[in-house]
Structure 1
């Protein structure tokens, strides 16, 4: 009974942290985050991605958690790059990896943080769950003035409530998130200004910049009873320095979401794509790309440059800490893509376009 209870608790933490499973059998009830009309991806209570495979259930979750096959991670894996101290403003384009899915985009005089997570653990509790193995690539105190914060979805490795509240208190940026996430963000500070949109919606950030919400093959949850009650998304930034596409979490599916971005916005100058948290494939494929699929996404987007994130900071799934970078290198070689066109970023690493 003790072992069974520990497995049940560990499974619950895993579910709430990264969206490893969305239970197939849901109790219908009132959505605490969002009330709106039924659409092609909202049934009145829960959101869904058309064409995405059916949610897995508790049996599959238990099979994964008890199935073995997890490679060990080190307790610490320091980045080879020192913590960055960004300039206050950049008129061109500069991107810094904070860690996991958190990046700072400095473009055309604006500073934009995406999915900023500064927590010691990506978890609903402070005493368990994935613990970061390297410090943030930018110390919170070293952040430049933040104009906008973009939140792709509500899993704990992407939405760090205390960090968002602190960003609001110290910088008062505009927050942009998909439907339902405003209620979650405001639960940490009711005064936060959050602009929510549906897939296809846009927010003008000023200075010739706009952010657009596009579909992703993923899902959402903060607890065990709110599966898919808040929407998730990817972002496209249209800027004077070109189009930037940032994907927080997604499966590859049939690749249509990437083709649609290119059709609507043109080939991006920069694509920031997830490359980690993908094993075992039978469990993760519907919601997390692996590096081979990320390279296929790059091809469908036609992006000039890609940066890989969502790896090497929090241990979420079965693959070893260095496997995503190794698999990315192999996939690029197999497709004849130059290795410097798709970089697996480490915390503190800076990317700027060549002069």
Structure 2
């Protein structure tokens, strides 16, 4: 495969899009194909944005990154040590890692998948683009009944239409996602609830709130930031759980207000990978030290690190996020068991607070 094809696929995966063989950050003044709604403090009538935050970088910076220091070499394949076969239901709180940002949350008898990706590639192309190096930690046919899907944003490593169609055919789950992504999901036939930041809904015995994260969105050329991104806060009798699919640390703003809004958070599922080089990634992808700071700011009792070790998107080595997380916990004087980087197939029953 030639370098041009690979470059175009990576650019699309990262939400920079391609136009006529060249990468484009956006197409000015294009009507939003996903969402029409009132102007707000994070929507200008066409595009969503991070209030007082940083916009994603453009084509020139992408070129500087891709033709700068080479990325660390990842293995082509990593064996899956022990595929998980979860229980049908869990009455307390257990989280199982599938891979990247895909996790199974079993909480108070409800089964929820986050950003489900079972495909081989996180790419608009079936034959090119970032490819998983380890199989999903839960074989698709070993999934318990899936009631709901939390879908954080529309980048290809988080919104995988092929997987969502498979879930529709077998489980017919209900999807909760930020504004605009429901339009992208329409061809799947899935039932979908689109939410703005701070909006709340019910998932059976659980409450869910869409909370701000510092990121962006795009599926290709011209649609940058036309669908919203965010995290989710689940609340139930067994406690609260936070899931953030992707975020920059943004001075701690994704975390600071959460303790007063939710009560004690029992578990926070936070991204720890895709952070190098920092000059390019820092504004949109937190690193493990920032994830630990976020854990402290939101007051979560336990953390689970995801968004690492499955698909190479950036320069760091495959094991670097897990090692950096251990060092960050020591630096912040937190017990190693408080925040773990789960590997595919690994499950954690969240201890009570």
| Same-fold status (TM-score > 0.5) | yes
- Per the alignment, residue 64 of structure 1 pairs with 65
Is residue 132 of structure 1 aligned with residue 132 of structure 2?
yes
Q: For residues 283-330 of structure 1, what are the alpha-carbon distances to aligned partners after superposition, in whole Å with 9 as ceiling and x for unaligned?
A: 001110000100110110111100000000000000000100111111
Is residue 32 of structure 1 aligned with residue 29 of structure 2?
no
Deviates more, 1:255-264 or 1:93-102: 255-264
Flag the 1:42–1:333 CA change in 2: closer, same or farther, 3 A. Answer: same
Summarize the alignment of residues 85-96 of structure 1 with structure 2, pairs less than 5 Å apart.
Answer: 85-96=85-96
Is residue 332 of structure 1 aligned with residue 329 of structure 2?
yes
Separation in structure 2 between the aligned mates of residue 273 and residue 316 of structure 1, nearest angstrom? 17
- Per the alignment, residue 254 of structure 2 pairs with 257
Separation in structure 1 between the aligned mates of residue 233 and residue 7 of structure 2, nearest angstrom? 33
- Per the alignment, residue 17 of structure 1 pairs with 13
Q: For residues 117-163 of structure 1, what are the alpha-carbon distances to aligned partners after superposition, in whole Å with 9 as ceiling and x for unaligned?
A: 00100111011111101100111111111110110000110011011
Q: For residues 15-46 of structure 1, what are the alpha-carbon distances to aligned partners after superposition, in whole Å with 9 as ceiling and x for unaligned?
A: 32134799666411111111111111111111
Deviation of 1:201 after TM superposition, in Å, equals 0.8
Separation in structure 2 between the aligned mates of residue 25 and residue 157 of structure 1, nearest angstrom? 20
CA contact (8 A) 1:23 1:56 kept: no
- Per the alignment, residue 218 of structure 1 pairs with 215
- Per the alignment, residue 97 of structure 1 pairs with 97
User: SS state of the match for residue 329, structure 1?
Assistant: helix
CA contact (8 A) 1:20 1:284 kept: no
- Per the alignment, residue 240 of structure 2 pairs with 243
CA contact (8 A) 1:161 1:185 kept: yes
Deviation of 1:73 after TM superposition, in Å, equals 0.3
Deviation of 1:227 after TM superposition, in Å, equals 0.4
Which runs of 5 or more residues in structure 1 are unaligned? none
Separation in structure 2 between the aligned mates of residue 150 and residue 291 of structure 1, nearest angstrom? 23
- Per the alignment, residue 74 of structure 2 pairs with 73
- Per the alignment, residue 170 of structure 1 pairs with 170
CA contact (8 A) 1:24 1:54 kept: no
Separation in structure 2 between the aligned mates of residue 69 and residue 39 of structure 1, nearest angstrom? 41
**For the aligned residues, what is the CA RMSD?**
1.7
- Per the alignment, residue 293 of structure 1 pairs with 290
Q: For residues 94-119 of structure 1, what are the alpha-carbon distances to aligned partners after superposition, in whole Å with 9 as ceiling and x for unaligned?
A: 11000000000011111011100001
Is residue 272 of structure 1 aligned with residue 258 of structure 2?
no
- Per the alignment, residue 200 of structure 1 pairs with 198
- Per the alignment, residue 148 of structure 1 pairs with 148
Deviation of 1:260 after TM superposition, in Å, equals 1.2
- Per the alignment, residue 229 of structure 1 pairs with 226
Separation in structure 2 between the aligned mates of residue 169 and residue 293 of structure 1, nearest angstrom? 39
User: SS state of the match for residue 255, structure 1?
Assistant: helix
CA contact (8 A) 1:46 1:227 kept: yes
Deviates more, 1:310-319 or 1:44-53: 44-53
Deviation of 1:267 after TM superposition, in Å, equals 3.0
User: SS state of the match for residue 164, structure 1?
Assistant: helix
Flag the 1:331–1:52 CA change in 2: closer, same or farther, 3 A. Answer: same
Separation in structure 1 between the aligned mates of residue 316 and residue 218 of structure 2, nearest angstrom? 23
Deviation of 1:343 after TM superposition, in Å, equals 0.3
Is residue 117 of structure 1 aligned with residue 117 of structure 2?
yes
Separation in structure 2 between the aligned mates of residue 352 and residue 226 of structure 1, nearest angstrom? 39
Deviation of 1:79 after TM superposition, in Å, equals 3.9
Separation in structure 2 between the aligned mates of residue 130 and residue 211 of structure 1, nearest angstrom? 31
- Per the alignment, residue 157 of structure 1 pairs with 157
Separation in structure 1 between the aligned mates of residue 157 and residue 131 of structure 2, nearest angstrom? 10
Deviates more, 1:148-157 or 1:65-74: 65-74
Flag the 1:226–1:44 CA change in 2: closer, same or farther, 3 A. Answer: same
Which runs of 5 or more residues in structure 2 are unaligned? 18-22
